[in-house]
Structure 1
């Protein structure tokens, strides 16, 4: 997808909208068969969820991969108490954006701020979080910057100890892209909450 302008790819995708449960839900079907699903808060227009699904080489639908928001534990997994216990104690990096920044929270990592070292590696287009006690190491990219082919800027990165939150301030290019996209999404004629409720009653 990188060779073509990301905004053009978004515009050419087939989009379906649904207003439900205080959220604007958008489904994108791209020309290459990939799918993206997003959920926005209706009041604030903040992105709550973004996930992707790719087709396999045989054309079957793959599993949804979470990019923004928390992955919900499936009911099947919840039957296995041991598996849940193990998952609950492991550190988890969850992305939860705001209107002005990309944000990640690290759950289950109860160490003081001075233990954490956060850095940007522009050559590898990634952010690295590690702890001096060698209990945690995570290397990840920001897909939004990759898709728009924008550089990583270390001055945009900050780390707060409240909720172990890593904050990357959005550039003007990203803010403009998101504002323009939201204008387009609001024009989509989608089913409303009332229609959905009628079907479920």
Structure 2
């Protein structure tokens, strides 16, 4: 996908705005039947969460986004903290608290990934890019961890990830990877925010 195609894709979507406190939530319905939710901080204008609706759950049914409680149980989280369901104490299958957990956030100038529950020292981690898959590859020298991270922001601008745009630190059992946004990505975000700020009377708005 190119910059122009992505901008046209979201520009032509049906958008509904939900306002809740200091958060503005935009629900997109696209012509190809896909759906997306974005959450913006009203004060900073920074995107805090982006989620895509899963095609169906294990029962073959859709679960609607609940704009009142922010439930994303049946959504794929592209950006932001993952909201996990609460498990009953008698439930037998539960995600362990010691498994590595990857989260992603953005600032004005950077994309940042945090991988929690990684206790290995910083010299253990090897960071490479896979141009064929347009991804960032993380592995450890002790072969205990491997992760491939795709960067949709770069793909939407038809850009490849660059090693020299990345820096890593390790603290409190968390590996933090920071990627400096290319100018085109920042331009795309600014244009998107301006478009959302200029929503016309044809868009639907709900006060939460």
Same-fold status (TM-score > 0.5)? yes
* Residues 134 and 43 of structure 1: CA distance in aligned 2, closer, same or farther (over 3 Å): same
Structure 2: segments with no counterpart, 5+ residues: 64-73
The answer for the alignment partner of 2:19 in structure 1 is 19
Of 111, 132, 135, the residue aligned with 1:123 is 132
RMSD, aligned α-carbons:
2.2
The answer for the alignment partner of 1:61 in structure 2 is 62
Which protein has greater RCO, CA pairs closer than 8 Å, 6+ apart?
Answer: 2
The answer for the alignment partner of 1:172 in structure 2 is 183
Conserved? CA contact 1:33–1:55, under 8 Å: no
Structure 1: segments with no counterpart, 5+ residues: 197-201
Q: Describe how 1:175-194 pairs up with structure 2 within 5 A.
A: 175-188=186-199, 191=205
Query: By how many angstroms is 1:81 displaced?
Result: 6.1
Q: Describe how 1:125-144 pairs up with structure 2 within 5 A.
A: 125-144=134-153
* Count of paired positions: 189
Question: How many angstroms apart in 1 are the aligned matches of 2:21 and 2:96?
Answer: 28
Which is strand-richer, 1 or 2?
2
Question: How many angstroms apart in 2 are the aligned matches of 1:155 and 1:124?
Answer: 18
The answer for the alignment partner of 1:150 in structure 2 is 159
The answer for the alignment partner of 2:100 in structure 1 is 91
Q: Describe how 1:64-83 pairs up with structure 2 within 5 A.
A: 64-75=75-86, 77-80=87-90, 83=93
Give the TM-score of the pair, scaled to structure 1: 0.84
Give the TM-score of the pair, scaled to structure 2: 0.82
